[in-house]
Amino acid sequence: MKIGGLQKTTLIDYPKKIACTVFLMGCNFRCHFCYSAELVLPEKIKKQPEISEKYFFNFLKERREYLEGVVICGGEPTIHSDLPEFLTKIKKIGYDIKLDTNGSHPLMLQKLISLNLIDYIAMDIKAPLDEKKYQKAIGVNVNLENIKKSIEIIKNSSIDYEFRTTIVPTIHNLNDIKKMANDIAPAKRYYLQNFRPEKTLDKEFLKIKPFPEKDLKTIVEEIKNLFEDCKIR
């Protein structure tokens, strides 16, 4: 597995657990507002120092007394065919696993759930479930049926989960947030994350100002009844 980063402790990435976060290299999306070019773009990945699996698993064994979970993110973890084997090794050490995913590989997602390899899923909803809007957000062609399948797989599983969207002016308007909420509802959790113009994949997005917080709060009030929990995060 190509590991591009390791955050050794996080109190916020895995709900109610002390965890570490491992960043896997490679992604099939090219979201203009992405903060992780070094994990996405092949030319950047070549220059990114790689963390060995040996180092990573030794770290997990040494920290077992202090950590409860491991967050798997990227890039996009589900593009890696050896992900089940990687997660199996983590499980054998005794950790709970949270998977961050863009939902583009429902077959892999279903496999991980069937093998009891994940305990929490966070899926990014990039745009309303409209092909043109989604492609505008992710910068590449999209198989929208795969996105829809992943949403249903997650909602119909026994795994705890959340959906989340980074809200980006020029990509989204406020009405789009309502559309996304209705696309995934009913669901347990839907969290909005306000865009930050920092270290973006597309440098033009550094010039974009985030939505005013009050506008997002107004939208949350309108959609929160569709979910068990809905807030700006």
The string of pLDDT tens digits covering residues 120-138 is 999 999 999 999 999 999 9
The string of pLDDT tens digits covering residues 182-213 is 999 999 999 999 999 998 999 999 999 999 99
pLDDT of 210: 95
pTM: 0.95
Looking at residues 20-35, what average pLDDT do you find?
95
SS (H, E, C) 49-72: CCECHHHHHHHHHHCCCCCCEEEE
Could you tell me the domains of the chain? 3-232 (3.20.20.70)
- 46 confidence band (pLDDT: 50, 70, 90): confident
Could you give the residue ranges of the DSSP H alpha helices within the chain?
Answer: 37-40, 42-45, 53-62, 83-93, 106-114, 131-138, 144-156, 174-184, 213-223
The string of pLDDT tens digits covering residues 78-90 is 999 999 999 999 9
Distance separating alpha carbons of residues 118 and 231, to the nearest angstrom: 24
**What residue type is assigned to position 201 of the chain?**
L
Q: Is the model's pLDDT at 41 over the cut of 90?
A: no
Dihedral sign for Cα atoms in the order 137, 224, 104, 23: positive
Neighbours of 132 (CB within 10 A): 10
